[in-house]
A = this chain, B = another copy of it.
Amino acid sequence: MNSTTLLGLVAGALTTVSFLPQVLKTWRTRSTGDFSFGMLTLLSAGILVWIGYGFLIDSLPVILANIVTFALLSVILAFKIIYK
């Protein structure tokens, strides 16, 4: 693995892991009032397109980071829909 891919994986790890404390907080509080529904849906849609782009440019960091982020973001979006 070259250093560029490594840097990309660091970037992906940071932005992906960032959603973990958020999911834990939201799971604990069940409170999602401060989140914009438009943000959650547009961001989820955009992340799906990023996954496609990642495959096209053959970038493992872009693919991996966006798949995991999409999964974590889905939890927050689900809480937003259920506990609104």
Contact = CB atoms under 8 A, between A and B. Distances in A.
A63 interface: no
Q: How many copies does the complex hold?
A: 2
25 contacts: A4-B56, A7-B52, A7-B53, A7-B56, A11-B50, A12-B46, A15-B46, A16-B46, A18-B46, A19-B39, A21-B37, A22-B35, A22-B36, A22-B39, A25-B34, A25-B36, A25-B39, A26-B34, A26-B36, A29-B34, A31-B33, A33-B34, A34-B34, A35-B35, A57-B57
A13 B38 CA distance: 14
Contacts of A43: 14-15, 18-19
Contacts of A52: 7, 11
Interface of A is mostly: helix
